[in-house]
Homo-oligomer: A and B are copies of this chain.
């Protein structure tokens, strides 16, 4: 069926070893190389990567395991990872876990069976905890979400600073009753909640937190809980874009005006956040940079396996829009 290296060798009148060298980096005379390339063309030969990997014990493959490839955050990071991998002559296997720890486990096992050179992983909370007990037997860089402290290289948003930036901004706009709705499947939600709490305390304000699944419907329930409470909030922060979208819909459905009745802010500068009325104030993450740094950490780790663990924290950018505008907000009591 498909031509093998033997067929090419026969067609070129050389040994399989010479074909291999001509197509790889081995030393071959120009004359033979030309013969080989001609034979490759004639036979339509394509190397069998399974055989190459088995023999060379190098897969030239990076695994990228993310929670939700439909999330523009991960799409953006994936692009950067793919670009860096391409530059380095590596392939990327992209796996989407849908925030499901079971799928995560399946894919992590698969990555081992594929013998990937290294892995870039955005783990759920469940898997982050399992990683503490059952370390992965390959070089891993964590992105977006914290894992067990001090075990793996990682590149994260400075979540404490980002949450603080949102709180500071809202306080500057005159808000005092600021609530937060945080995703509960990832360590990121936990970190952003902690940052929010710390910032609120710094301002001498009471924190009011809800934890929710990263789903539109869950955000609606969270808003209902907040509105039902004693001191109705003047502003709400969402820790991810799905929750932000859910809150926006729920606030509209409740007939409340943004920002007059309720200011709204969140994470991730997705294009729709700038298209809705009013535009939503968000923390923009440096997607490209996260992907680039993750690959760079991975390459460093492969080069020097015993180097100390590195944790890189990147700053976000606060994009201010109408959803937190001061002049439009109701006067404080």
Nearest to A75 among chain B residues (CB) is B70
Interface SS majority for chain A = helix
B69 with A115: CB separation less than 8 A:
no
- Determine if B48 and A51 form an interchain contact, defined as CB atoms under 8 angstroms apart: no
Minimum distance in angstroms from A279 CB to a CB of chain B: 11
Q: How far is the CB of A111 from chain B (nearest CB, A)?
A: 10
Stretch of A157-165, A172-180, A270-278 contacting B (4+ beta carbons < 8 Å): A270-278
A113 contacts the other chain (CB 8 A): yes
Of A90-98, A118-126, A145-153, A299-307, the stretch lying at the interface with chain B is A90-98
Q: Which residues of B contact A275 (CB under 8 A)?
A: 245, 248-249, 272, 275-276
Please, how many residues of chain A have a CB less than 8 angstroms from a CB on the other chain? 39
Chain B residue at smallest Cβ distance from A48:
B115
| A107-146 interface bits toward B, Cβ cutoff 8 Å, 1 = contact, 0 = none | 0011011110000000000000000000001000000000
Contact of A245 among B2, B96, B98, B271 (CB under 8 A): B271
Bound complex: CA A48 to CA B69 (Å)? 27
Nearest-neighbour CB distance to chain B for A53, whole angstroms, equals: 4
User: A44 at the A/B interface (Cβ < 8 Å)?
Assistant: yes
Per-position 1/0 for A277-290, Cβ under 8 A of B: 10000000000000
Contact pick for A44, options B96, B113, B137, B277, CB 8 Å: B137
Chain B residue, CB-CB nearest to A106: B86
Q: Taking beta carbons and an 8 Å cutoff, which residues of A are in contact with B?
A: 2, 44, 46-51, 53-54, 59, 69-70, 72, 75-76, 78-79, 82, 91, 93-94, 96, 98, 109-110, 112-115, 137, 245, 248-249, 271-272, 275-277
Known: A245-B275, A272-B272, A276-B276. 14 other contacts (CB 8 A): A46-B109, A48-B115, A49-B50, A49-B113, A49-B114, A50-B53, A50-B114, A51-B54, A69-B75, A70-B79, A79-B98, A249-B275, A272-B276, A275-B276
